[in-house]
Amino acid sequence: MRIVDPYALPGRFCRAQLHVHTRRSDGRLEPEEVLTRYRDAGYAFVCLTDHNRVTRCDALNGPDFLAIPGVEETVVRGMYPLGPHLSRLFADRPLGRGTVQERLDATRREGGVAVLNHPSWKGNFRTGEWALEAMQGLRGPYLLEVVNPHSDAAEDLRRWSALLRTRPREETVGAVATDDAHMSRQIDRAWIMVKVEDINAEALRRALMSLAFYATTGPQVDLGVVDGTVRCAGAALQNVTFIDRQGRVRADVQGPEAVYRPAGDEEFIRIEARGGAEGRVWSQPFWMEAERSDS
């Protein structure tokens, strides 16, 4: 049996924020103010996702920091503004209309990455939720916010776990954590650590498509496969939980470092780790596959 390590790409882990607003939509800060605050907090990537418009701001771009254009679109149900939201990262333009599937397809064609936002959000007169059944029926890869301060993280995590049980491996849904910040005090609450060799758009796009990132609300960890085990280590961690495809806890280990040796029936192992009252980490799945025979 072989363990497929989503973090086997070369590079280092860098902080990335995939969901934030500016005064170009309903945020309170100018784009350059937003980016300055994230840069000063140690982020390498920030995607500006104003509502239904693409905001560009290249003023702070440099060797160690990059702003990525994006857009948060409303998938209208009945009449605007009713409906759930999705982000299109690396977008050049908003899509004025279209079903969810049409938007996902267009995003892929244009070289972007799609994220379904705050899946259990009760806003827009309770039309803002992403129903599990609707997400299960979508074709192609996309990412899902499992942490968004405007949503119910426990319910969002439950829906992500259900998607992982039912969708094929080649359409694994990656979990992201985001700020969805609209003002200063909402900045730097939840983010992803993405593994890249360089700070450029192609490196970020490749890492997102490969699921070479983990979601976090604080702890930084080292994840990988070592001698046939799945390993997680981080100085701030208090416990590490290993979970299989059916959502069963296979091991729960106290302390800052843990390894799990698969039994062979897990299909995949993913990690949830805790470090303090609010600090949590969510890995992407480590899939198991049979060793190929040379005969």
Instruction: Choose which CATH entry (3.30.590.10, 3.40.50.720, 3.20.20.140, 1.10.460.10) describes domain 2-214.
Output: 3.20.20.140
Q: Give, for 210, the enclosing helix (H) or strand (E).
A: helix 201-210
Regions in the chain scoring below 50 on pLDDT: none
Q: Give, for 163, the enclosing helix (H) or strand (E).
A: helix 153-166
Length of the chain: 295
Q: What is the pLDDT of residue 294?
A: 55
- For 288, list phi and psi in degrees, rounded to 5: -105, 140
How buried is 24 (Cβ within 10 angstroms: 0-12 exposed, 13-18 middle, 19+ buried)?
middle
Residue 40's alpha-carbon distances to 56, 214, 254, in angstroms, are 19, 21, 33
- For the entire predicted model, the pTM comes to 0.97
Ramachandran area for residue 4 (φ above 0: left; ψ -120 to 50: alpha; else beta)? beta
Give the contacts of 32 (CB within 8 A, at least 6 positions apart).
57, 59, 60
DSSP letter (8 states) at residue 208: H
Q: What is the pLDDT of residue 96?
A: 85
The DSSP-derived string for 78-92 is: SSTT-S-EEEEET-S
Q: Give, for 192, the enclosing helix (H) or strand (E).
A: strand 191-196
